[in-house]
Chain A
């Protein structure tokens, strides 16, 4: 039996902006404008169909929902005004909340990003990737960072990245200093997290 409505209703009610996908008319503009379409198994368009068709497992386990880079092209172009990226992020959060990790790398990178903000109040091009790589452990992390050496060099050439001395495990490095009033920022972030949890719960 296809097109059971239980999962669709769950998405409409519990996922951030989930109800907006009701008006999708399957034109495919999101799919054709997405710069990451080739990396995706499904496009946003097809994900919405799968939601309507009640394919819970396929949707929540799909790495696509964590591939969105928030470029906003789909949201700008959607003729029905669906905030596609909000729903993609909403679905990713919802999956994580249900104990499913659709895409391990994105999760780790997100954590590294969050940690960086939480600990220093800044996002730094040098520290976040290193933190992300080291999530896999010391050896694997170094290997991974070396494999991305060319990207790092290119970034450096373009003056997007300043070389620093990294001393794990404690990232106390000259240059990546903390912002003023970090404690206040952390209070805000804690509060926001609590509010988010309350809403989802």
Chain B
């Protein structure tokens, strides 16, 4: 299909006053956009109608020079087969450079026009990827507890077939083991029945849900829209998406033998054991009982985190005792009572019923006695040591561990270290991995979902709940993070919605979050591949498998379109239809670099579209300004930055290259998990090469900004400008 290109320049929002539009059109003309139209308010119905008329007349590639690509997205969308390239004249030129002189502002405007025009000239409309054969539309739910059953019901309600696999002989999970449920309805004071039978009945009653009990998963192969799952009963099922709702494991109380005398007396039990007792036995014989909160939680030697449910459970269990014997003395020895949302009402109700809460410090209480128990603890509220005597029972409120093997990624920094050290660090990381699996993924990257630091298989702790780092596999419920029953119910529904989405995306051939709807996908020019394995190693989502000869085997439905593979490939054989090494390289080369004696330095800043670009837009909107010598180029992720772009920029005489992306490290905010981490490692390696070429390594700067950190961005821009002024002009200028 031939491309018919037309450009549009908006004169609204002050663009027409600040810039000479004829000169802008001329600059874009140098890079292949010959036709241009102007409009006073391009985003107005009349402006959009003007563009639509051209689209109807056969134009299919539009250069829209107006505002940032992050605004007016609905107005300037003309279907997936019409390429639209946006030039951010308003934010990046008119607003951001409002303090610069006219000449510099115009030069910037012209450069942005050239960059937009060349990108548009080199882009092709996407052809969505289609899976071979029929797309599998069933949702596989692994785990038949609260989250799993709710996920199954939600997916079924949304019209999907569901396969529910449960390891135990019956559905229900921990809910089936509970005596009572915490309050679920206003005023959140009375304990309620678990109604587990009702829920199980609903699930087994639906024809759309096929339930396998007493079954585990032997092997999972494939990709979203086409998973083939072998079950332990020998059957094979096909699914389009997978929800792992495998729940939690109670923290092993044997680990608390020293601190809390577990095992020394049969009346020292955990909250899970006490719940069992409450379900099966009679509690009226208890006259005095103490609950010890944070037993092995929020403790660096045990579980370092708060499990967020034990306080609620202890309040609930205290109420069991009070219901059986209102005269019983019930004590809860706590560090902090953490009862978020409605469970605060449960805490209050327990207090009303006469449960006594005693605050302790970081040290564990000492528990002793062979028959009746004595508990001695520091009471911080009285500032005294207190004794609770004649206790019939002590309950240790232990926390939750995710029912999922811990998988520690090899630290990326290892790639930048010397080979011996890198090997050692990788070995150390591998040694921490747990050797069991739930899904048994037949992925080149290993059989398990990669986990965050506490073995919870989440991909991003703030922005993308349910998403694991394996596309199409979602986690829900307590395997994802510790939570209560009511939260697990919601979690199941949330994950089910994600699963339905990913199947639909596989059908259409587009990406899921964060580049939802993107129909491009990485294409490999395989004849030039050197089997270096970098793309398979570095893909944050395990999208690329390998054959025996180490050739990459991409799975486009697993792909999130971040372009990390494109940044990794030393042969530059990976490209997208509208985003490639060549396109960004050409954008950099289209920048006009003034001669050294003009004293107008130039710096290219590669801006991640996820966090850094919004900050730039926000800064412009807030009236911040920056140097007119910067040129911003949007990239999908810092991980997609190919080193050749740095070489392109420096050999062209550009004085500095900046990379602005999301936060990295343990609490990363990178939308593609390790993109900015990878960029950082790659840039650390490039500095050596620069020094060899007699170029200062300061010319390259990798920075992180949070999405709301305008001031940080301004500081970074300022200091980068100072650096460029200090190191002076690029010696390669004019070559």
Contact = CB atoms under 8 A, between A and B. Distances in A.
B331 A3 contact: yes
A53 B385 CA distance: 12
B382 A53 contact: yes
A167 interface: no
Contacts of B379: 2, 53
Nearest to B331: A3
Contacts of A45: 381
A1 B387 contact: yes
A5 B325 CA distance: 15
Contact of A22 (B354, B381, B386, B387): B354
B329 interface: yes
A158 B337 CA distance: 50
Nearest to A4: B329
B592 interface: no
A42 B131 CA distance: 73
Contacts of A46: 381-382
A45 B351 CA distance: 15
Contacts of B337: 25
A3 B352 contact: no
Contacts of B358: 3
A139 interface: no
B389 A1 contact: yes
- On chain B, which size bracket covers the interface? 20 to 34
B382 A49 contact: yes
Contact of A26 (B329, B352, B359): B359
B348 A26 contact: no
Nearest to A23: B351
Interface string A16-58: 0000001111100000000000000000011001101100000
A44 to B, nearest CB: 13
Contacts of B633: none
A80 interface: yes
B283 interface: no
A5 B329 contact: yes
B388 interface: yes
Nearest to B380: A26
Contacts of A53: 379, 382, 386
Contacts, number: 43
Interface string B333-366: 0000100000000011001101011110000000
Given A2-B386, A2-B387, A24-B351, 12 more contacts: A1-B387, A1-B388, A2-B379, A2-B388, A3-B386, A5-B354, A22-B351, A23-B351, A26-B357, A46-B382, A50-B382, A53-B382
Given A3-B329, A3-B356, A80 B348 contact: yes
A49 B386 CA distance: 12
B7 to A, nearest CB: 61
Interface string B388-414: 111000000000000000000000000
B356 A52 contact: yes
Contacts of A1: 387-390
16 contacts: A2-B379, A2-B386, A2-B388, A3-B329, A8-B356, A22-B352, A23-B348, A23-B351, A25-B347, A45-B381, A46-B381, A46-B382, A49-B381, A50-B382, A52-B356, A53-B386
B683 to A, nearest CB: 49
A19 B54 CA distance: 78
Nearest to B290: A3
Contacts of A3: 329, 331, 356, 358, 386, 388
A49 B359 CA distance: 10
Contacts of A22: 351-352, 354
A24 B390 CA distance: 26
Q: Ordered nearest first, which 10 A-B pairs have the shortest CB separation?
A: A2-B386, A49-B381, A23-B351, A1-B389, A22-B351, A23-B348, A52-B356, A22-B352, A26-B381, A2-B387
Interface string A50-81: 10110000000000000000000000000010
Contacts of A49: 381-382
Contacts of A25: 337, 347, 351, 357
Nearest to B359: A26
B584 to A, nearest CB: 56
A2 B386 CA distance: 6
Contacts of B351: 22-25
Contacts of A2: 379, 386-388
Contacts of A26: 357, 359, 381
Interface string A69-104: 000000000001000000000000000000000000
A45 B337 CA distance: 17
A45 B357 CA distance: 13
A175 to B, nearest CB: 51
Contacts of B329: 3, 5
Contacts of B387: 1-2
A122 B352 CA distance: 41
